[in-house]
Amino acid sequence: MEGPNKPAICFALLIVLVLSFITAVVYDVIVKARDSGFGIGQWMVAALTVALSTLYFSLEDEVTTSFD
């Protein structure tokens, strides 16, 4: 039985997390406003994690229904 590539999805989530941290730090250094940079980072983590989770469950349902 095949399904979504869980390690690849986890790796993508790790990349999103690292990129959001880098974005937050760069924004903080440029603007010198500590709160807003990490607000942007939190938004990136939340939005992209939800998007990847939706993709995962969509693919998982596709595999499950094709074998029923």
Stated pTM of the model: 0.62
pLDDT at 68: 53
d(CA 22, CA 29): 11
Secondary structure of residue 68 in the 3-state scheme: coil
In Å, the largest CA–CA distance within the chain is: 56
Question: pLDDT tens-digit profile of 36-50?
Answer: 777 877 888 888 888
Question: Can you give the residue ranges of every domain in the chain?
Answer: 6-56
pLDDT at 66: 59
Q: What are phi and psi of 2, to 5 degrees?
A: -100, 160
Ramachandran sector of residue 32 (left: φ over 0; alpha: ψ -120 to 50; beta: rest): left
| pLDDT lower than 70: segments of the chain | 1, 3, 34, 62-68
